[in-house]
Homo-oligomer: A and B are copies of this chain.
Amino acid sequence: MTHQTVGHRHTTRPGLPDDPRAAVTEPTPSCPVEITLAALRGRWTTLVIRELLQGDRTFTELRQALPVLSDKVLSDRLAHLTEAGVVDRRREPGWPSRTHYRLTPQGRRLGPVLQALWDWGATTAL
């Protein structure tokens, strides 16, 4: 089985949770959905996360995995993801200097999110 649909329980509930934050009438950074979309925002972001879902990676390894991505944007993405609490950066002392990146526990929990995005998009493409 390649990609079975993940077992969501969405049969009954039509909308979103009856959380006060679900009542907003305009986009606000405190809305959980906005928080997640903000973390995923930007071209290349999901691909960087996909790489890190497979384990620890250095800057160069990421650059090799995504050859078209420029240094600047990769650096931007990693800084953004680090600030969002998705990625953890570990400088290696000495020379040549290396920096390892890996997902935080919170970042690893983006796996199911990407899976949900994948599942929906996979059915649309038919």
Contacts and interface: CB of A to CB of B under 8 A. Distances in A.
Interface of A: 2-3, 6-10, 13-19, 22, 24-27, 30-37, 39-40, 43-44, 46-47, 50, 53-55, 65-69, 84-85, 106, 109-125
Contacts of A10: 6, 111-112, 115
Given A46-B33, A69-B26, A14 B53 contact: yes
A68 B14 contact: no
B124 A35 contact: yes
A50 B43 CA distance: 24
A50 to B, nearest CB: 6
Contacts of A40: 37
A15 B53 contact: yes
A85 B25 CA distance: 24
